[in-house]
Amino acid sequence: MGYRATLGPHTHAFADLRTLMAKATPARSGDQLAGVAADSAQERVAARMALADVPLRRFLSEALVPYEDDAVTRLIIDSHDAAAFAPVAHLTVGGFRDWLLSDAATGPVLAALAPGLTPEMVAAVSKLMRNQDLMAVARRCSVVTRFRDTLGLPGHLAVRLQPNHPSDSPAGILASTLDGLLYGAGDAVIGINPAADSVPAMVQLLHLLDDLIQRHEVPTQSCVLTHVTNTLQAIAQGAPVDLVFQSIAGTEGTNRSFGIDLALLDEAHAAALSLRRGTLGDNVMYFETGQGSALSAGAHHGVDQQTLEARAYAVARRYRPLLVNTVVGFIGPEYLYDGKQILRAGLEDHFCGKLLGLPMGCDICYTNHAEADSDDMDNLLVLLAASGLNFVMGVPGADDVMLNYQSTSFHDALFVRRLLGLQRAPEFEAWLQRQGITDAAGALLPAPARPALAASVAALLPWSVP
pLDDT in tens, 252-300: 999 999 999 999 999 999 999 999 999 999 999 999 999 999 999 999 9
Residue 214 clears pLDDT 90, i.e. is over it: yes
Lowest-pLDDT choice from 147-151, 364-368, 400-404: 400-404
Residue 193 clears pLDDT 90, i.e. is over it: yes
The two beta strands, 399-400 and 405-406, are antiparallel
Residue 387 clears pLDDT 70, i.e. is over it: yes
Residue 409 clears pLDDT 90, i.e. is over it: yes
387-393-394 Cα angle (round to 5): 125
For 360, residues 6+ apart whose C-beta sits below 8 A from its C-beta are: 143, 324, 325, 326, 349, 350, 353, 354, 389, 390
Q: What is the pLDDT of residue 450?
A: 56
Share the mean pLDDT of the chain: 95
The predicted model gives 41-66 an average pLDDT of 98
Question: Which pTM was predicted?
Answer: 0.96
pLDDT band at residue 446, thresholds of 50, 70 and 90? confident
Among 409, 335, 406, which Cα is nearest to 31's? 335
What Cα–Cα distance (Å) separates residue 53 from each residue in 38, 60, 159? 18, 16, 40
